[in-house]
Structure 1
Amino acid sequence: MISVHANGDTVVDWEDWSAPLRQFAQASGLVVSAYDNHARRQTGPLHSSRTAALLASSNLWRDGGPGALLEQELAIQVLDHGAAVATTFCDALRISAMPLTRFGKTYGVIVYGWSFRDFSSPMACDRIARQVGLLGHALWGEVRLESPVSDARMAVLTSLLRTLVDSTDRHREAIAELNRVNRAREQFLATVSHEMRTPLAALSLRLELMQRTMPDLPEAAKSSIGIMRKHVAQESLMVNDLIDASRTLTGQMSIERQPVSLGQVLHDAVSTVEINAHDKQITLQVTPADYAARVLIEADPQRLQQVVWNLLLNAVKFTPEGGRIVLKVRQEARHVVIEVIDSGQGIEAHDLEHVFGAFNLQKQGNDSGLGLGLYIARHIVELHGGTITVTSAGLGHGATFSIRLPLGAA
């Protein structure tokens, strides 16, 4: 992962680099390290050969050691010039460095190598050993058993490492750009939603005042004002959904838990949709009849009522005239289950997994809304530590939405 602080500094999660660089070190036999944009080593030295393991036991790569200082010098050169560099240690071991770049900016350096170009000698190993605090014959005993890395092979390994680095950086560039676009979209959604709420509220107030203060209007005008108020109310609901969705997307939605009677929450939710059910001659049954008034939970009553109201309103919307809706509550050992069961149009099997997605608008029988209600409902239920699911036998067989909430110590 990569991010940018307000002061312009690039912040990198260097743990992301450990796995791919370790795999490269094991496959190539080279020693690999990663440095940040201040030439400080963040990962490594990663190695797999016996010679490298022996060198790692010396003071070569320790803080202030000759190898650590040499790698830091190479890192500084790459950071200053943005280009790959190479050098040798004791005129025997080859070390190279290449830049890490994202969006055209160098944010780190990969230092790799510590390999012999050809077969070494006891004298060369003795010279290196004196520099790092090892015994010359011990180093020679390991070096003579390993194959050197020729110029051709080193070029291939460098090309492979460059491909690995570039593909990783381009992949993370794409992720960073996608995150930026998502943040911009969420901010736009939140801003537009809030800006729309004020004029809608003013328009609704003016229409209400017209109905109250102008009783002598022609019937056609009164009817038009009533229709306009209905449309404004629908638009207000959609704006509220947009605001809730934007809060969900940006992680700003929260709940305020308190001990509440589940029966009161359910009763308030039912009372808001009763007139809609009555208009379609839909039977609305609650089981048990007291709305499970004795069940106490820790919840945000307004948010939980919003969830149940949304499920009931959807059930009314997608249930034909003369249909039936049942709101059923049952208490388990540690949970309470709320079910909304309707005899409506049902949901096809391949659509069930998408029901709780954002902007998932079911077209059939739905002339309003943005398809955000169930998305918001799922998030509210999850904030309560619960789950919400849906089942349906298919088109024409109705649907059952089930909310499962933990019982709080109210």
Structure 2
Amino acid sequence: MIHIAQPHVAQIDWDGWVAPLNQYALSTGLAVSAWDAQGRRTVGPLVSSRTTRFLGTGTLWNESGAGAEFEREIVAAVVDSGAPAPDRMFHGMRVSSLPLTQSGKVYGVLVFGWCFRDFTSPLECERIAKLSGLSGQALWNEVRLEAPVSDARMATYTALLATLAGSFDRQREIIDELNRVSRARDLFLATVSHEMRTPLAALSMRVELMLRTVQDLPPAIEAGLTAMRLHVRQEAGMVDDLIDAARTLTGHMSIVPADVALGRIVRDAVSTIEPAAHEKGIAFSVAPADFGDGITLAADASRLQQVIWNLLLNAIKFTPDGGAIRVAIRDSAGHVEIDIADSGQGIAAEDLPHVFGAFTLQTSGNATGLGLGLYIARRIVELHGGTLTVDSAGTNRGTTFTIRVPRGRDGAIE
């Protein structure tokens, strides 16, 4: 057995090669196999011509067959040089090769051909048949019914396979690079988000401490500290959004469902934003009046409250002074639906498909935030086995978001 050095490359999905190589074999009539860099056949031999199909019934390409050993020698030469080996002859049959590369390293070799370049003789067929455990006369009967593959035709077939392999390998490299960039981005986002949270928490605590304990602060300093407290809270909110987005992107966001009363969740979310609504003179209504106290569902209360709070905050942000916001709760067919409708600036039809994208910002009225709130909200609802949808009649005609989640634990995903 020939030892072949192994280059360090990512895991290869050899199954992906089967379909294109099989199509190549059918189109050209050549036999083709794929080998890894350690000298193991991973695909094939794939055959379609009368001659190669007949050879496949013998021992030629068995693990210890003469043809398999011949191909291993070719693979070793290609891996060692990093270039196609010169065509080699196996008792008159031409065998060619092409290296498979990833990031500049050879991770495998395509071995193809097993065809005669000109009309052969019964004697050569007898030699090949003897090495394959077949009848020489039977092999000759198959070979003489097929035309040989000329140098020009073989050059065309080789160029075709090179194009196929190059395209396949470039696609694989692009996918690997995209995955690498994605992993690096997600790790960076998660790490930086956590590193930012600690100093913000310390700053918030010290500002709050000064406002509560220092007596007779000059008005200008008190106003400055109050503004600083607001800005720190805004920054902390954005960091929390970054952390949630990082968890979503890396698949680490989860929920812990428990039996909870919907009324408490809605009340807690509404109480948080009511002062902001009153400040803008926005008419706020909830139906039914009991906030859904009679509805119990399996949900992560804090996460579902986060969704409702985010939608209500957006509604206030994009609704002008004197506008209206309506929350409607419906319980039917094992699901709970919550509509949050406003009379605000609305969403243009062409923008609706992009509302839930990450880092999607409204073009007006959004002086703060990263555009992650709706992206995170939809993921939280999906983790509950539900859906979050949006509808708008157009610009300045209001917006309605609809949360739909199952009541029972069967729909919840941990």
Indicate the TM-score class for this superposition, using the shorter chain for normalisation: over 0.9
- The match for 1:66 is 66
Residue in structure 1 matched with residue 342 of structure 2 by the alignment: 342
1:210-229 correspondence runs (5 A): 210-229=210-229
The Cα RMSD (Å) is 1.6
Deviations along 1:207-246, one digit per CA (max 9) or x if unpaired, are: 1111111130122221111111111110110111111111
The 3 A distance-change label for structure 1 pair 255 and 397 is same
TM-score scaled by structure 2? Answer: 0.94
1:273-312 mapped onto 2 (5 Å cutoff): 273-312=273-312
Structure 1 residue 9: Cα displacement:
5.0
Q: SS in structure 2 opposite 1:12?
A: coil
2:265 corresponds to:
265
- 2:27 match: 27
Contact 2:330 2:337 in 1 (8 A): yes
CA distance in 2, matches of 1:394, 1:119: 75
> What secondary structure does 1:10 align onto?
coil
Give the whole-Å Cα distance in 2 for the aligned partners of 1:185 and 1:16. 27
The C-alpha deviation readout for 1:292-343, integer Å capped at 9, x for no partner, is 2222222211111111111111011111111111111212213221211111
**Deviation string, structure 1 residues 3-47 (Cα, Å, up to 9, x no partner):** xxxx95531011111122122112211111111121111111112
Kept in 1, the 8 Å contact 2:9–2:107? The answer is: no
One-letter amino acid of the structure 1 residue matched with residue 164 of structure 2: L
Could you give the per-residue CA deviations for residues 98-156 of structure 1, whole angstroms, max 9, x where no partner exists? 21111111111111111111122333222222221222232222222222111111112
The residue identity in structure 1 corresponding to 2:225 is I
Tell me the residue number matched to 1:164.
164
> 11-20 or 173-182: which moved more?
173-182
Q: Please list every run of 5 or more consecutive structure 2 residues that lacks an aligned counterpart in the other structure.
A: 1-6
**Secondary structure of the structure 2 residue equivalent to 1:216:** coil
Distance 2:12 2:298 in 1: 41
Partner of 2:11: 11
Q: Closer, same or farther in 2 for the Cα pair 1:203/1:84, shift >3 Å?
A: same
Bigger drift between 14-23 and 393-402 goes to 14-23
Equivalent position SS for 1:359: coil
Aligned pairs for 1:133-212 (under 5 A) are 133-212=133-212
> What SS does the corresponding residue of 2:11 show, helix, strand or coil?
strand
Decide whether aligned partners of structure 1 residues 238 and 104 sit closer, same or farther in structure 2, where only a CA change above 3 A counts: same
Q: What is the aligned partner in structure 2 of residue 87 from structure 1?
A: 88
Structure 1 match to 2:378: 378
Find the residue that maps to 1:11 and give its secondary structure: coil
d(CA) in 1 for partners of 2:28 and 2:195? 58
Given residue 354 of structure 2, which amino acid in structure 1 is its aligned partner? H
**Does residue 389 in structure 1 map to residue 379 in structure 2?**
no
Structure 1: tracts of 5 or more residues without a match: 1-6
Cα distance in structure 1, aligned partners of 2:27 and 2:280? 71
Q: How many residues align?
A: 403
- Secondary structure of the residue that 1:16 maps to in structure 2? helix
1:47 paired with 2:47, answer yes
Which moves more between the two structures, 145-154 or 126-135? 126-135
- 2:4 is matched with none
Q: Secondary structure at the match of 2:388?
A: strand
1:149-195 Cα deviation digits (max 9, x unpaired): 11111112112211221222122212222222222222222121111
| Residue type of the alignment partner of 2:62 | R
Structure-2 separation of matches of 1:175 and 1:208: 49
Give the Cα–Cα distance (whole angstroms) in 1 for the partners of residues 283 and 340 of structure 2: 13
Q: CA deviation at 1:363?
A: 2.6
Task: Report 1:249-260 matches (<5 A).
Answer: 249-260=249-260
Which position in structure 2 is the counterpart of 1:38?
A: 38
Equivalence for 2:321: 321
Cα distance between partner residues in 1 of 2:130 and 2:325: 87
Identity %: 59
Q: What is the distance in 2 between the residues matched to 1:114 and 1:139?
A: 13
Partner in structure 2 of residue 110 of structure 1? 110
Query: What secondary structure is seen at the aligned counterpart in 1 of 2:293?
Result: coil
CA distance in 1, matches of 2:365, 2:41: 62
Letter in 2 for 1:41: R
Q: Deviations over 1:350-403 (max 9, x none)?
A: 000000001001131111100000011111111122111111000011011111
For residues 312 and 244 of structure 1, the distance between their equivalents in structure 2, rounded to whole angstroms, comes to: 19
> How far, CA to CA, are the matches of 1:116 and 1:334 in structure 2?
71
Q: In structure 2, what residue type is equivalent to 1:252?
A: H
- 1:132 partnered with 2:132: yes
